[in-house]
Amino acid sequence: MVGTSRPRLLGVLGPGLITGASDDDPSGIATYSQAGAQFGYGLSWTLLLTYPLMCAVQIISARVGRTTGHGLAGVLRRHYPNWVLQVLVFLLVVANTINLGADLGAMAEAFVLVVPGPPKWLLIVFFATVCVYAQVFLQYTRYVAVLKWLTLALFAYFAAVITTQIDWKSLAQGLFWPKITWSKDYLTTVVAVFGTTISPYLFFWQAAQEVEDIHAYRRRHSLTHSPQQAGPALYRIEIDTLVGMAFSNLVALAIVVTTAATLHVSGITDIQTSAQAAEALRPIAGEFAFLVFAIGIIGTGLLAVPVLAGSAAYALGEARKWPVGFSRKWQEAKAFYGTVALATLVGMILNFTEIDPIKALYWSAVINGIAAVPVLIAMMLIGHRTDILGAFIIGRGLTTLGWMATGAMGLTSLAMLITLFIKN
């Protein structure tokens, strides 16, 4: 699997790093903040458990894109019933649109906390416009470079955790010997963490970015047509994904630890939004922790909103046989770019309706959880089909972890549905 020529780490990092970083979007920050505020260090173990599962499913999705030269939706369209594809794409587009709308609102709230004055509606419009402009008009390689730089915003959470006084014994217990309770609140938060870290839009995005790189770099070809490229390509995918998902989970852990060490010990246990978490930190952890936490929300939002809109456009475009990809000029893929703009516009408009953004985000998580299981099952089946991947079917290790992730998300989805009907 390892080629003779190994590129340097910075050259290797790309789709996996951006995918992992986008997973820590403002909505995810709210989930991790709630986990830390409500349960202290008690849910830290979830981020250890999800790491190998995340790595496996993201490596599989990346390998599908790099091997076939098609994104997940494109492969599903060619090899599976159309109704399955259309249902999954519909769920993905709906969930992504709600999610990015919530992220736009969170970015505006965080900005107002840092720089009071501008009206929230104006900031929502501004951030939506910036995200759409970057996706439609920036050259693909420059656009990817911008996304890579935006991942630096996540270092804000490492800075925040440094300023807090951590109970290392409690953290170690939460990571390696947790006390699991079977209350509705505990179960709901575990479900939310799993649904946030293993989400369908990440599968579609990373596979599509591998395809984009084939088009953007002339020397790269799909592995089914150029099997001699397999060594360096699969090595790059593995390192890129392992680093990207590690970065993602370490940031999530930093958020849990920061809020556990500050909000939880101060008796603040109900956090609904990422901006609320930042604001609650100010009197407890100090101005610096508050500031870097709030700035991180804005930076991660600028990274995540394009990924959410882009993954929806990739999936819908491949399902409809449209020309897709940010490596194309907008004149060459009008429907694709139109979907990006429309998803962002609808998400923006959701902020100006009577819809409760917290409830909308919850239902987005429910939809993502429901969609994740069939997508994962399809990916695992694809991973063993020689008529699709040729000689590059997945091995025993990825198979084991992939099916574990599928089973975990199946149980998570079932638990999520149960929490809708049970009482404490």
- What are 211-220's pLDDT values in tens digits? 988 887 778 8
Q: How far is CA 134 from the centre of its chain?
A: 19
Residue 213, CA atoms < 13 Å, CB-side half-sphere: 26
Contact 37, 263 (CB under 8 A): yes
pTM of the model: 0.90
Instruction: Mean pLDDT check: name the lowest of 90-104, 150-164, 313-327.
Output: 150-164
Classify residue 252 by burial, with Cβ atoms within 10 Å: 0-12, 13-18, 19+. buried
The per-residue pLDDT for range 289-317, each reduced to its tens digit, is 888 888 889 988 998 999 999 999 999 99
Q: How far apart are CA 15 and CA 202, in angstroms?
A: 10
Fold of 9-364: Amino acid/polyamine transporter I (1.20.1740)
Question: Given this model, what pLDDT does residue 5 score?
Answer: 46
9: confidence class by pLDDT, cuts 50, 70, 90: low
Instruction: For residue 158, give Cα distances in angstroms to 23, 106, 266, 316.
Output: 16, 20, 21, 36
274: confidence class by pLDDT, cuts 50, 70, 90: confident
Instruction: Provide the token pair at 118.
Output: 């501008």
List the domain boundaries for the chain. Answer: 9-364
Q: Which of 15, 14, 20, 21 is nearest to 296 (CA)?
A: 21
Q: How far apart are CA 140 and CA 14, in angstroms?
A: 13
Task: Tell me what the mean pLDDT of segment 32-42 comes to.
Answer: 92
Instruction: Provide the token pair at 149.
Output: 């730089």
The per-residue pLDDT for range 157-187, each reduced to its tens digit, is 888 888 888 999 999 999 999 888 877 788 8
Classify residue 10 by burial, with Cβ atoms within 10 Å: 0-12, 13-18, 19+. exposed
Most confident of 14-23, 45-54, 261-270: 45-54
Instruction: Mean pLDDT check: name the lowest of 118-122, 146-150, 393-397.
Output: 146-150
190: confidence class by pLDDT, cuts 50, 70, 90: confident
Residue spans of alpha helices (H) in 263-286: 274-285
Q: Which residue did the predictor score with more confidence, 50 or 370?
A: 50
Question: Given this model, what pLDDT does residue 234 score?
Answer: 92
DSSP state of 330: G
Q: Answer yes or no: is pLDDT of 3 > 50.
A: no
